Amino acid sequence: MCTTEIIAFSRANTLFEQRNACLLGLSVDSNASHLAWLYDIYCKTGIKVPFPIIADRNGTIARKYGMISNDISNTETVRNVFIIDDKGIVRLILVYPMNVGRCIPEILRALTALQVADRNQASMPANWVPCEPVILPSPTTFAQMLQRNQEIEKNRNGMNWYLSFKNPKDCQVIEQKRK
């Protein structure tokens, strides 16, 4: 499964770069093992993995990030995805069980959602996809609530003062190419 994920992330690397994101792999295998693995992928598929894979032989990093579940194994990592912003803050953690591969389109969607939410000071509704409306922050005063209700009635852009929408600024749809 890891091999299919490495190939999928490699194919999607430019899509992450377009979103100003850098991929980084972490594995408890040795550097020599990584080199042999990446070379095998290259020989069999022609794909050169364009991002680094860190050898975390003793699991120090994996343990700090909660990637080793002692209930499952003392040495094997679960399949985690961390989105860490440019300030070093972990913004999202996805944890996949060992028998389920990561979903690249969902990771790209979540990354895009975080970036659009930040740019628009907004939240994302369930199943949000790029360029769909975003949720406005709730009003904090009674006057703002009355104004919001007037805007909703005029623009038909929400259900109530606590749930209204706007179109995001700087909307970009970046398609994932399937290979």
**Token pair in block for residue 24:** 């980084």
What angle (nearest 5°) sits at the alpha carbon of residue 74, between those of residues 70 and 78?
A: 70
- Catalytic-residue membership of 171: no
Q: Which of these, 113, 114, 111, 76, lies nearest to 97 by C-alpha position? A: 76
For the chain, give the number of residues: 179
Catalytic option among 2, 22, 43, 103: 2
For the annotated catalytic residues, the residue numbers are: 2
